[in-house]
Structure 1
Amino acid sequence: MPWNHEDLVLKALDVGSSLGARYVEARYHRHSRSSLFSRNGEVIGTESSVSEGIAVRVIANGALGFASTTILTEESVRKTVEDAFRKAQAHSKLVKKPIEFSQERLGRATYEVNEVKPFTNVSVEEKVSYLFDLWKNVSSSVSTARVATLTSWIGESVEEKVVANTDGAYIKSRIPRLSLGYNVVVTLPSQGTIQRFFSHGASGGYELLEKWNVIGYLPEDVRKFEKIILEARSPPTDRPVDVIVGSEIVGLMVHESCGHPSEADRILGREAAQAGKSFIKPDMLGEKIGSEYATVIDDPTIPGSNGFYLYDDEGVPARPRFLYKEGKINEFLHNRWTAKLFGVNSNAAARAMSHESEPIIRMANTYFKPGDYTFEELLEDVKFGVYIKSYMEWNIDDERWSQRYGGLEAYLIENGELKNLVKNPVLELTTKTFYSSVDAADKNLEFYAGTCGKGEPMQGVPVWFGGPNVRVRNILLRVIA
C-alpha cells in the first residue's frame, strides 16, 4: 500500500519502540527553494531545489542515535530507525552519563503561515522586471561616483514538517519565506569605494516586496554612499565620546554577544572545536552583565518573522526567552537534553536545518528590548559624540567577548544635533563594556534578516536580529586604517 509522510513518521515511532528504544523521534522535513540572480540588471542565474526526507533520533542504553533517509517508503524508514538504534547501542559504550530528556508538556497542533500574495502568483518575468528596475533606479542615482556593480537576488522557500515522538508530540507546520538581497559597490577611483551587502527575509509571500520598498530606498542609500566618499571626515579618536549605536549594529551585537554565548550546548563546550566557546559558565545565571536597560529577548513566536515557529523540533511550545534581563544573565537557550542537565524546562530552542540534520540549540529572533526615548531624545543629551547607523564589517572572538564593528553611515553629534558625515568609525569593545555602557534606548524596534550558522556538519537556519537605537557613554572610537 502507498504510504504518505505522516504514516511514515508514525511508523518510525512504532519500529523504534518495538526495538526497545526508550525514546523515539521522527521528523518529516521538506524544503523547496528557488532563486533568481541578477547583476547590473541582467539575469546571471536561477536555481531551484527540493530536499525531502525523514530524520530519526532514538535513545537506547543511555545513548542518542541519529539517522535519516530520502527514500520515503516503509522499508526504508524501518532500516533508518534500525540504523539509529544501532548507533545508539554502539555509542552507549562511550557515554559517561546517560542521555536523558526533560519532562515537558509537548504540543499536538497544526499551524502554517499564509501568504497574502503566494509565490505561484508571481511570474519569472515579473521578478526579472523587478530586478532590472532596481538596477535602473540605483545606477542613475549618483552623479560624481558610479555604481560599479549591483548584484541582487530574490529567493523563495517553503519549509514543511511533521514532528512526532513517543513522549506525545505531534506537530505539523508549513512556513513559506521570501528573501531579497543585494550587494552594491559604489566607487570614485580617486577617493574610495564603498560596498554594501544587505538582505531582507521574512515569513510570508510577495506582499513583502512592497513592504521592504528596496526600489524606493536603495537609490537614496547609494546617494548617501557617494556623499560619504566625497565628504566624510575622520571620527574623533583622541578621547572617549558618547555613541548612538544604530539598530542594525545593535541587532548584530545581541545575536553574537548574547544569543550565541547563551546556547547551553556551547556553554557546556560542545561547540568548542566548531564555532567556539562561550564566556558564560553554567553557574553565571544572575550575574550582572550590563546596565538596567540591557534586556535581550529571543522570541520565535513573532508573526511574520524570519525565524518564526510555534513548536520546536522536539515538540516543545515556543515562547519568548529573556536571555539578559535588566542587566543580568537570566536564562540560557535549551533543548530537552541540556534542560535536563541544568534542572530546568526546555525553552524550545531545538531546530534542525533539514532532514539530514539533528535538532540542535538555535536562536530564532533575537533583539534588544526597546526603551522609552525617541531618537531625538537620545541625541539631546549628547554634547559631543558619533551616531553609527550601519556597519560595513565586523568580527568577534571565539568566546563572544571582544568584538569590533566598522561603521558605514555615521555622523558627528554636536550639542544634540547631527552634523557632518564621519568616515570609517570603529566600535571596538567587550561584551560587558557595551551592555554596561547603555544608558538609554529608543522606541524604534527594527529587525534584520540573516542565516545563522552552527554545528558540524554546518547548519544554517533563518533568523532575525534587531533592536532599537541605543546610547552608550564614554567610548573610545577607532578608525578603519
Structure 2
Amino acid sequence: MTASSSLSLLARAGLDPAAALRLTAHALDGADDGELFLEYCQSEALVFDNGRLKTASYDTSQGFGLRAVKGEAAGYAHASDISEAALARAADAVRAVASGHRGTLALAPERTNVRLYGDDNPLGAPAFEVKTALLAEIDAYARSREPRLKQVSASLAGSWQVVEIVRPDGEIVRDVRPLVRLSVNVVAEHGGRMETGSYGLGGREGFARIIAPETWQAAVDEAIRQALVNLEAVPAPAGELDVVLGAGWPGIMLHESVGHGLEGDFNRKKSSAFAGLLGQQVAARGVTVVDDGTIPGRRGSLTVDDEGTPAHRTVLIEDGILVGYMQDRQNARLMGMTPTGNGRRESHAHVPLPRMTNTVMMGGDRSPEEIIASVRNGIYAVAFGGGQVDITSGKYVFNCTEAYRIENGKVGAPLKGAMLIGNGPSDLHRVTMIGNDLELDPGIGTCGKAGQGVPVGVGQPTLRMDKITVGGTAG
C-alpha cells in the first residue's frame, strides 16, 4: 500500500489528532522541550551481481518516537504501533524525566515555506521489471567495455520517508523525503593481479536522472577507469610529504576529521578538540567551512530537520576563524545558542542528535593545475575509502582508493596502499593553497554516529596541505 503524500500520518493511523496532542502535552508537562515524531517509510534495494539478481528487498515501516527533554536529560519511548494506547504508554514512560522542578517549554521551531525536493515516491517508477533489466544492461555494458573485468556488481536503492513532528503547543511540521542511489563496483584482473573500482551517485529525487543512459554509462566508465588505474599502481611511499587533495568526494576527510568535532554535543561536553575555541583561529587563513542543508536535491539536504527546525546554511569556520557549531535544540539551549537545523535521527526508533548535512570547504582562487605544479615531492589523493577518527584528539587515518605520485610538479604513477595520517584540527593549519574548483560529491555519503546512520553530502575544492604523514609500503 502506498501512503498518500497528502494524508496526515495521524489520520492514516486512525489516531485522533486531539488525542495525540493531549498525550504529547501530558508527556511534556514540566519539560523544557520535546516532541512526538511520527514516521512512515518505504524502501527498496536491488543488487545485481555477476550476471544475476542477487537481492531484491522491499520494506515498509512506520512508528513514533516520543521525547521529553529536561536540562541535560531526555526521556524517549518509541513503538511501531501508532495507536492511542501505545502513545499513552509512551507518555507515561517519558514523563519521569520532567519530574521535580518545572521547566519552561521552549518555543516551537520557526516555520518555513521552502521546499528543497519534491514529494513524489521514487519507488513507484520505473517498474520493478525495468529496474532489473537496467541492472542487467549495466552488467553487460561493463563487460563489453573491458574484457579484463572479472566481477561486476550494480545496485539501485530508493526510499520514501514521510515525517510529522507534533509539539504540545499544537504546532505540526511535516516533511516528505525521497532518496535514491545507483552504485557500480567492478573487479579487474591482469597478470594475476586483481584491483577494484567503484562509483555511485544519487540524491533527493526520483530515478529519472540516474537511470538515463548517459548517466549510468558514465558511472560504469568511471568505476572501470579506477580499477584499471589501480592495476598499474605501484607501492606508495611512506614519510612526511606534501599532499594535494582532489575536489569533491575527498571532502569526506574534512567531514570525518573536522566536521564531527564541530557538532554541538561534543563541544558542550568539552570532548571535542574544538571545544572552547569560538572566535579563535583554528585553520589557515582562507579556509572557510560551512554545513549547508539547504542545497536543493542533495543527499544531505533537509527542508526541516527531525525536530522540525528548518535547514540552515551554517558557517562553521570563516577565513580560518571558528565561528559556529552545528546544533540541535537541546544542545543549542544548553549552550545559549540557536538551533541550526542539525537535529537528525535515523528513524522513529532513535533520538535526535546534532549531525552534519552537507559539509563543504569553500573554494579559493588557485587553479588545480597551479596547485599540482607547486608540489615538488608529494602525492595527489583523488578518492578515499574507509578511515578512523578520534573526535577528542582529532587524530585520523584515511585509506586512499585512488592516488598518484607528484614529482617536480607533475602527476606520475598511481599508488597502491597510500594512507593519510594526521590530526584534523592541526592539519587545518597546513592548508597552503585552495582551488577554485569547488565540487560536491555525487551523492553517496552515509554518516554514522552513536549507532545511527543518516545520509550526508561533502564537498571541497582541490587543496594543498604541507607536510602530511603518508603511510605506505615503499621506502
Taking structure 2 as the reference length, the TM-score comes to 0.86
Aligned to 1:471: 464
> Which residues of 2 match residues 173-322 of structure 1 at below 5 A?
173-188=175-190, 190=192, 192-210=193-211, 213-229=215-231, 231-237=232-238, 240-248=240-248, 250-269=250-269, 277-281=271-275, 283-322=276-315
Q: Deviations over 1:363-382 (max 9, x none)?
A: 11111112233322322333
Query: Any gaps of 5 or more consecutive residues in structure 2?
Result: 1-9
Q: Which amino acid aligns with 1:359?
A: P
Q: 1:435, 1:59 → 2: CA distance?
A: 36
Residues 260, 400 of structure 1: 8 Å contact kept? no
Report SS of the residue matched to 2:159. Answer: strand
Report SS of the residue matched to 1:358. Answer: coil
Taking structure 1 as the reference length, the TM-score comes to 0.85
Q: Are residues 1:136 and 2:140 paired?
A: yes
Residues 108, 169 of structure 1: 8 Å contact kept? no
Q: Deviations over 1:116-165 (max 9, x none)?
A: 8943230222211221122222234335xx33322221111001011121
Residues 116, 296 of structure 2: 8 Å contact kept? no
Q: 1:348, 1:382 → 2: CA distance?
A: 40
Q: Which amino acid aligns with 2:167?
A: N
Q: Are residues 1:17 and 2:18 paired?
A: no
Shift of 1:220: 4.7
Q: 2:254, 2:331 → 1: CA distance?
A: 22
Q: Are residues 1:343 and 2:329 paired?
A: no
Go from structure 1 to structure 2 and tell me whether the alpha carbon gap of 1:438 and 1:8 turns closer, same or farther (over 3 Å shift).
farther
Query: Any gaps of 5 or more consecutive residues in structure 1?
Result: 271-276
Aligned to 1:273: none
Report SS of the residue matched to 2:210. Answer: helix
Q: 2:226, 2:86 → 1: CA distance?
A: 57
Q: Are residues 1:120 and 2:124 paired?
A: yes
Go from structure 1 to structure 2 and tell me whether the alpha carbon gap of 1:285 and 1:70 turns closer, same or farther (over 3 Å shift).
same
Aligned to 1:449: 444
Go from structure 1 to structure 2 and tell me whether the alpha carbon gap of 1:224 and 1:259 turns closer, same or farther (over 3 Å shift).
closer
Report SS of the residue matched to 2:286. Answer: coil
Report SS of the residue matched to 2:86. Answer: helix
Go from structure 1 to structure 2 and tell me whether the alpha carbon gap of 1:184 and 1:99 turns closer, same or farther (over 3 Å shift).
farther
Q: Deviations over 1:302-340 (max 9, x none)?
A: 101112212222222221112222222221121221112
RMSD: 3.1
Q: 1:246, 1:459 → 2: CA distance?
A: 28
Residues 264, 361 of structure 1: 8 Å contact kept? yes
Q: 1:81, 1:18 → 2: CA distance?
A: 7
Aligned to 1:65: 75
Q: Which amino acid aligns with 1:187?
A: E
Q: Which runs of 4+ in 1 moved over 6 A?
A: 97-101
- Which of 160, 164, 167 is the equivalent residue of 1:165? 167
Residues 198, 223 of structure 2: 8 Å contact kept? no
Q: 1:259, 1:336 → 2: CA distance?
A: 18
Q: 2:116, 2:84 → 1: CA distance?
A: 27
Residues 203, 299 of structure 2: 8 Å contact kept? yes
Aligned length, in residue pairs: 460
Shift of 1:228: 3.1
Q: Which amino acid aligns with 1:65?
A: G
Go from structure 1 to structure 2 and tell me whether the alpha carbon gap of 1:405 and 1:313 turns closer, same or farther (over 3 Å shift).
closer
Residues 186, 223 of structure 2: 8 Å contact kept? no
